[in-house]
């Protein structure tokens, strides 16, 4: 409307007005008759909100982008050869063929190589893929894994151990699920301690697992327990994060019950 008014009033240089005219003549328009100014307001707000909703639904999550790039790499390698499916060549072809939104992560050679690494070390393993997909189904894009840096942090701190990676993924989910931290608070700085000694919350969770493994194996082996008792408390029971959490809950309940009974006994001199 502003450009149309400038053209009608001849307000501007001929070159500028020609640009305005060309833009207006090449933009598709659809006229609607709207009863009032207030209805006009609601009409254009609704149009913007629909676009916002479409963006939220259709824009790629980090996990979807990794799947997309890796599947494309595999198809291209099969049809054109592995030499034409390297991270560098794929990044060039992608950027020549796709106009990325400014809000999207740029697809560089480094990003492409990182996507392949995340697939190989996380998403290709069912026990690691399941918690990541569960978080995405549950929280949408507001999940703690919707950033390549967060998933890369898990890969680095797991040091090639699938069991350690599974423990860290479930620990992140547990913290968000219980409200200890939000997905946004689990930033790469929080996870890795970047900028503060490179010791973050992932290191703390790794330490918990190391202590747990030591106690449930070495320490138990040195104690005079029956084989059945050792089996119940061994690493086979605790090695999964959900088993560890369950045992913590049971232990907390038993400690509460014991304390409560002790207090009652003292009060009534039982």
pLDDT score for 22:
83
Stretch (H or E) spanning 11: none
Of 95, 98, 123, 99, nearest in space to 109 by CA = 95
Domain ranges of the chain: 2-28+36-58, 61-121, 125-270
Q: What is the DSSP string of 91-111?
A: HHHHHHH----TTSPP--HHH
Residue 245 has a pLDDT of: 62
Q: Using CA atoms, how far apart are residues 73 and 67, in angstroms rounded to an integer?
A: 10
Number of H helices, E strands in the chain: 15, 0
Q: Where are the alpha helices (DSSP H) in 98-240?
A: 109-118, 126-139, 148-158, 162-177, 188-192, 201-214, 220-221, 227-233, 235-238
In the chain, which stretches have pLDDT less than 50? 236-237, 249-262, 264-270
pLDDT in tens, 98-144: 999 888 899 999 999 999 999 999 999 999 999 999 999 999 999 99
- Residue 188 in contact with residue 149, Cβ under 8 Å? yes
Q: How far apart are CA 20 and CA 5, in angstroms?
A: 10
Residue 126's pLDDT is 95
Q: Residue 171 — φ and ψ, nearest 5°?
A: -65, -40
Contact, 60 vs 146, CB < 8 A?
no
Burial of 165 (0-12, 13-18, 19+ CB in 10 A): buried
User: How high is the pLDDT of residue 255?
Assistant: 44
Count other Cβ atoms within 10 Å, centred on residue 138.
12
């Amino acid at each position: 409307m502003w450009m149309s008014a400038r053209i009608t009033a001849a307000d501007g240089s001929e070159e500028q007005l020609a640009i305005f005219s060309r833009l207006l003549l090449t933009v598709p328009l659809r006229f609607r008759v709207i009863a009032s100014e207030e209805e006009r307001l609601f009409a254009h707000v609704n149009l913007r909100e629909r676009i916002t909703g479409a963006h939220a639904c259709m824009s790629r999550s980090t996990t979807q982008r990794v799947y997309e790039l890796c599947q494309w790499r595999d198809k291209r390698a099969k049809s054109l050869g592995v030499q034409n499916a390297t991270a560098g060549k794929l990044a060039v072809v992608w950027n020549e063929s796709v106009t990325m939104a400014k809000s999207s992560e740029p697809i560089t050679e480094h990003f492409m190589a990182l996507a392949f690494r995340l697939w190989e070390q996380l998403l290709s393993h069912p026990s690691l893929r399941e918690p990541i997909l569960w978080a995405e189904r549950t929280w949408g894009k507001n999940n703690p894994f919707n950033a390549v840096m967060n998933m890369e942090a898990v890969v680095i701190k797991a040091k090639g151990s699938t069991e350690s990676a599974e423990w860290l993924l479930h620990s992140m989910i547990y913290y968000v699920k219980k409200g200890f931290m939000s997905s946004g608070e689990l930033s790469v700085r929080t996870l890795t301690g970047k900028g503060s000694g490179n010791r973050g919350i992932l290191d703390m969770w790794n330490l918990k697992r190391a202590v747990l493994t030591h106690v449930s194996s070495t320490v138990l082996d040195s104690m005079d327990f029956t084989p059945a008792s050792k089996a119940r408390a061994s690493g086979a029971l605790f090695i999964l994060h959900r088993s560890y959490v369950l045992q913590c809950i049971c232990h907390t309940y038993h400690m509460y019950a014991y304390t409560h009974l002790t207090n009652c006994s003292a009060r009534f001199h039982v």
